[in-house]
Structure 1
Amino acid sequence: MNQTRRSPISPVIRSGSGSGQVWNQSSSSTSKSSTSKSSSASIYSLNKDQQPKKDASFFGFLARVLTCTGDIAAVDEDHHPPPTIQSFTHTSVESNKILYHSNSTISSKASEGPHGTGTDELSFQDICKATGNFSAANIIGEGGFGVVYKGTLKNGSVIAVKRAKKNNYDTGTPMEFKNEILTLSKIEHLNLVRYYGYIEHADERLILVEYVPNGNLREHIDGKRGNGLEIGERLDIMIDVAHAVTYLHAYTDQPIIHRDIKSSNILITDKLRAKVADFALARIKVEDDATHISTQVRGTAGYMDPEYISTYQLTDRSDVYSFGVVLVELVTGRLPIELHKPTNERFTTKWALQRLKGGEVVLAMDPKLRRNPASLMVIEKVLRLARQCLAPTKQPRPSMKKCAEILWKIRKDFHEHNDVMAAANHSVQVPEIDARKNRREFFGIEDDSSSNQRFQSA
């Protein structure tokens, strides 16, 4: 990784998950008088006095961890949460000096975990054993920052280990590594991957996070994972992502802009619920009255806010634009950029919105989805929301909170429509009638073709 500073006139754009990343070390927040926030009631009313239930993490905060002293909320994935954003209490990291400090050997004690195995002490050597010495067989993902491995600890618990690529830095710790740790240490939400800790050992840089076993959203859309996502499951995923990003924008101590919302950064659980991952590009809005963050352009081609690209001003509406692209992906099944398609279909968002405008929603629908009135209703409403998110400038775009509210209403309408259709299609079971037996008994007609006498007198 090239750690030299770059001029803002040369934006760095990732064409995909495997391309390189360059960190801009000279970004700043631009302040402006903030507009007054709406005080109207919404589904996200937050009770700040509410204290969540404590859930001691098995991993504690591992390996010279950034310690969050707040409570960790216990969550149950079987439970469909009400339309609220959960509040979690965290002590913000006041200084990142610890990130710049490096020891040759690092370990920490982990508190009692979900398996009730008591405390444990993990070191870099323990992680090597857990990952089979970073065996290629345990690789579960790869990006510009590094490779992600599946690790099985000695008590059987499974974690994900993000290992920074050594060629990404010459000396010291890469900025993406420090940035991701700082961001992850401030957040805790049902629909965000859980952070366990980090290790710096000689020239190794590791981040330890929750293992999500069922691949990412792009793999499910492409049919590489699972049995295909039905429209109801896709709606659930849209809402999960909307909740996660709303939490980042509005319910953390300092607003966080993810800056890389895309289908490959949305992990899917065994129960087909979504968790947003990869905070290497995330930015924290330090000043409360800042309207944007001036920074070098970073992100993935096809998902990036065009206004951010042209002005170098990052806002929470940049995440809204990226979310709009994900909505179109879930509706159409296509990648944001399809180079093998005809010229007028290569940019999926533009093509899909043209189908919406022309009243041809069914043509934009993922071929793998069932065609029925309820599904078509969802596709049309989601595309209308996506059109708002994909506005070329930030002003017309809705907030992520508003997106979640709209999606909750769409899902409610979808379930009600299905209930009505199920009731209408319900019919009384008519007993099966044996027509041949009736003909034989009442009219003396034999159906045996070998019989010469096919009619008998009564």
Structure 2
Amino acid sequence: MSTLSRGSSCVSNGQVGNFSIEEIYKATEKFSPANKIGEGGFGTVYKGRLRDGSLVAIKRTKKNKFDKRLSLEFKNEILTLSMIEHLNLVRLLGFVEHGDEQIIVVEYVSNGTLREHLDGTRGNGLEIAERLEIAIDIAHAVTYLHMYTEHPIIHRDIKASNILITEKLRAKVADFGFARLAANDPDASHISTQIKGTVGYLDPDYLRTNQLTEKSDVYSFGVLLVELMTGRQPIESKRPMSERVTIRWAIQKLKEGDAVIAMDPRLKRSPASNMALEKVLKLAQTCLAPLRKSRPSMKECGEELWEIRKDFRERFVAPSPSPIFYHSSTFPESDAKQNQDISFIIEDGEKYKFMSA
């Protein structure tokens, strides 16, 4: 694992981004409120423009040098981001520690969060085909974290507001402040002294036992799948009592044979979209199994989503003029063949799989 040095910065491909605090101040116009694009428990995110004209996102921690939790999350996010390189994961460009300033510089993703798109405050509304693509992107990213990094990584905070959307409506997973390394033994688990995550997405098995595994991310992903299909947030306190916990309400409708009632009303109804909705909710139901051993892996989630997308295309578009290829980023192997690349390739008519580049 990397170590941090004050006043320096690094990226996962070994290149060094030398950001001075003066450059950060200039890029953000001294952290002008006009450049503020987000805020959370970690601190505030600003849009910045570097000397070469490129746009970046600059995360500034809350100014409390005595808050050990924030300092730990700052270092944790840097160390996690420095180990990963994937098309569907936000890329680290550098970091700065200067006095009581702790700053992370990452790639700028210009089209807001998935939550904003589902709320209708961004874009023109996501069609079901676009939602399936986003779900697959997220599955690719988390599969990479779990299986294809040198040390498996558990994100611990998979949620719609941590999914950034590009102008081409592709997804990038962000915010690694809560992430931690998984045990090398896939059957092993971490005992956590402090529960981390977001209410509504937290794995009940993790809450009950304090044991953290990759299946905790799978549970959160199940909540996210329900969000994608319903458009609702995980907890909606203004709804009738039976609808306040979205996953309970949606899965109950699925069990009753009325899954279409749970569909986001902004989505167009059709036999193809109704079928996709039902299949995604069934996948979500397996992800939300109370016991982690009953949940699929993230790779299995990706495989199932690809099949759902394939069936949707065949029903919705006929005939397709040519096979459609999906290429995500290159995956480093997790075994001794570290120098060979693996490409995540999806091709209509073939099994969803990892193939040698």
TM-score over 0.5 (shorter chain): yes
Cα 1:368–1:199 change in 2 (3 A) is same
Give the structure 2 partner of residue 363 of structure 1. Answer: 261
Give the structure 2 partner of residue 228 of structure 1. Answer: 125
Give the structure 2 partner of residue 400 of structure 1. Answer: 298
Query: Which structure: greater helix fraction?
Result: 2
Q: Partners in 2 of 1:202 and 1:153 — Cα distance?
A: 22
Give 1:78-117 correspondences, 5 Å limit.
92-93=1-2, 96=3, 98-99=4-5, 102=6, 106=7
Q: Partners in 1 of 2:285 and 2:317 — Cα distance?
A: 28
Q: Is the 8 Å Cα contact of residues 138 and 151 (structure 1) preserved in structure 2? A: yes
Residue among 278, 282, 298 paired with 1:380: 278
Q: Partners in 2 of 1:229 and 1:170 — Cα distance?
A: 39
Paired residues, number: 316
Give the structure 2 partner of residue 276 of structure 1. Answer: 173
Give the structure 2 partner of residue 256 of structure 1. Answer: 153
Give the structure 2 partner of residue 14 of structure 1. Answer: none
Give the structure 1 partner of residue 214 of structure 2. Answer: 316
Structure 1 position 167, deviation (Å): 2.7
What CA deviation, in whole Å up to 9, does each residue of 1:134-185 have, x standing for no partner? Answer: 0111111111011111000122100111101013635897100111111011
Q: Partners in 2 of 1:272 and 1:200 — Cα distance?
A: 33
Cα 1:109–1:148 change in 2 (3 A) is closer
Cα 1:108–1:162 change in 2 (3 A) is closer
SS across alignment from 2:295: coil
What CA deviation, in whole Å up to 9, does each residue of 1:173-217 have, x standing for no partner? Answer: 710011111101100100000011110011100011010000000
User: How much is the aligned-residue C-alpha RMSD, in angstroms?
Assistant: 2.1
Q: Is the 8 Å Cα contact of residues 154 and 181 (structure 2) preserved in structure 1? A: yes
SS across alignment from 2:280: helix
Cα 1:173–1:263 change in 2 (3 A) is closer
Q: Amino acid of the residue matched to residue 259 of structure 2?
A: V
What CA deviation, in whole Å up to 9, does each residue of 1:354-376 have, x standing for no partner? Answer: 10011101100000000111110
Residue among 212, 221, 228 paired with 2:109: 212
What CA deviation, in whole Å up to 9, does each residue of 1:227-262 have, x standing for no partner? Answer: 000000000000000000000000000000000000
Cα 1:244–1:188 change in 2 (3 A) is same
Q: Partners in 2 of 1:414 and 1:130 — Cα distance?
A: 44
Structure 1 position 122, deviation (Å): 3.3
Q: Is the 8 Å Cα contact of residues 145 and 168 (structure 1) preserved in structure 2? A: no
Cα 1:386–1:286 change in 2 (3 A) is closer
User: RCO (CA 8 Å, sep 6+): is it higher in 1 or 2?
Assistant: 1
Cα 1:311–1:168 change in 2 (3 A) is farther
Normalised TM-score (structure 1): 0.66
Q: Is the 8 Å Cα contact of residues 361 and 379 (structure 1) preserved in structure 2? A: yes
Q: Is the 8 Å Cα contact of residues 47 and 57 (structure 2) preserved in structure 1? A: yes
Q: Is the 8 Å Cα contact of residues 28 and 35 (structure 2) preserved in structure 1? A: yes
Structure 1 position 419, deviation (Å): 2.3
Cα 1:308–1:177 change in 2 (3 A) is same
Give the structure 2 partner of residue 342 of structure 1. Answer: 240
Cα 1:292–1:286 change in 2 (3 A) is closer
Instruction: Report whether the alignment pairs 1:353 with 2:251.
Output: yes
SS across alignment from 1:174: helix
Give 1:319-334 correspondences, 5 Å limit.
319-334=217-232
Q: Which runs of 4+ in 1 moved over 4 A?
A: 107-110, 170-173, 286-290
Higher radius of gyration, 1 or 2 = 1
Cα 1:226–1:283 change in 2 (3 A) is same
SS across alignment from 1:122: coil
Give the structure 2 partner of residue 198 of structure 1. Answer: 95
Q: Is the 8 Å Cα contact of residues 9 and 94 (structure 2) preserved in structure 1? A: no
Instruction: Report whether the alignment pairs 1:305 with 2:203.
Output: yes
Aligned-pair identity (%)? 61
Query: Which structure: greater strand fraction?
Result: 2
- Structure 2 gaps, min length 5: 322-357
Give the structure 2 partner of residue 239 of structure 1. Answer: 136
- Structure 1 gaps, min length 5: 1-91, 111-118, 424-458
Instruction: Report whether the alignment pairs 1:291 with 2:205.
Output: no
